[in-house]
Amino acid sequence: CLLNLKSVVENPLEIHYISVEVLDINDHSPSFPEKDKRLEISESALPGARFQLQAAVDRDGGVNSVEQYKLSPSNNFRLEVKDRGKDGKIPILQLQTPLDRETSSSYKLLLTAIDGGKPPKSGTMEILISVLDVNDNMPVFTKDVYSAVINENSPIGTVVIQVNATDLDEGLNGEISYSFVNENSNVPQLFDLDPSTGEITVKGQIDYEVDDSYEIDIQASDRGPVPFRTDKSVTVKIIDVNDNAPVIDITSLSNTISEDSRP
């Protein structure tokens, strides 16, 4: 930095021009516009994806300005620095490996800006990364086998069994709804299925003499943009109850027998 001064001397009158060069010392540390930077990155982002960050500012000039950036160790991200000449160095965060929200839903990194002074000064910014979910997991039923036993003539509303499925995704991608797979069978006339809870209840007349067991096919579906679905079969056995009276069939025959008939 140069300061240009003009000096006037009398007797005799003289005018002198003076230039004063002010030498910079490293008396300022680099600083970022924000103390922390929040990023949202989809777990479907491909390795190589780049996210430009705000550069640090150092009021010092020359070699005392920002010279380099460092990123805290990370298996998923690396730091790239782009030199824009008079505009300084720009830090860019680059994705190295695929993200999986179900494994880790967030990351915390520390970006450090270091100037070229001796000794150097530094400033930091925390990078907070939230991993956005995509629908990449199927619903999974919590049991391999579902079976139940009920009496025939069970009252309407009797709970038969409750199925349950889980999905590791979040939001709508992880919400489960249940439905019958084969709507053309007589199952929907005899049983009701709660789409939210997976609870199966009696809806119609259950008669052992008509059918002593049912195979109910259930489908669990998430609510993602392109839903994933999983099927499961539920076996329901019907217990016979004594609801039918005995029926005796009597056949009458008439014939004439002589009183002196031999035995």
Please identify which residue in the block is written with the tokens 């009158």: 13
Q: What type of residue is 42?
A: S
Three-class SS of residue 91?
Answer: strand
Give the pLDDT band of residue 62 (cuts 50, 70, 90).
confident
Instruction: Collect all residues with Cβ–Cβ distance below 8 Å to 10 and sequence separation of at least 6.
Output: none
Give the pLDDT band of residue 21 (cuts 50, 70, 90).
low
Three-class SS of residue 188?
Answer: helix
Total-model pTM: 0.70
Q: Phi, psi (5° rounding) for residue 123?
A: -140, 155
Mean pLDDT of 118-123: 91
| CA atoms of 107 and 129, how far apart (whole Å) | 5
Give the pLDDT band of residue 13 (cuts 50, 70, 90).
confident
The whole-number pLDDT of residue 110 equals 97
The whole-number pLDDT of residue 19 equals 75
User: Is residue 22's pLDDT more than 70?
Assistant: no
The whole-number pLDDT of residue 238 equals 95
User: Is residue 8's pLDDT more than 90?
Assistant: no
Instruction: Collect all residues with Cβ–Cβ distance below 8 Å to 192 and sequence separation of at least 6.
Output: 200, 201, 202, 203
Q: What type of residue is 137?
A: N
| CA atoms of 236 and 145, how far apart (whole Å) | 12
The whole-number pLDDT of residue 260 equals 67
Please identify which residue in the block is written with the tokens 């995704």: 169
Alpha helices in 158-235 (DSSP H): 187-190
Other C-beta atoms within 10 Å of 9: how many?
A: 9
Q: Which residues pair with 129 in a beta bridge?
A: 39, 107
| CA atoms of 14 and 209, how far apart (whole Å) | 128
Q: Report whether 145 contacts 227 (CB < 8 A).
A: no
User: Of 191, 254, 248, 252, which is closest to residue 218 (Cα–Cα)?
Assistant: 191
Give pLDDT tens digits for 138-183.
Answer: 999 999 999 999 999 999 999 999 999 999 999 999 999 999 997 6
Give pLDDT tens digits for 192-215.
Answer: 999 999 999 999 999 999 999 999
User: Is residue 60's pLDDT more than 90?
Assistant: no
Mean pLDDT for all residues in the chain = 89
User: Of 110, 72, 71, 69, which is closest to residue 88 (Cα–Cα)?
Assistant: 69
The whole-number pLDDT of residue 169 equals 95
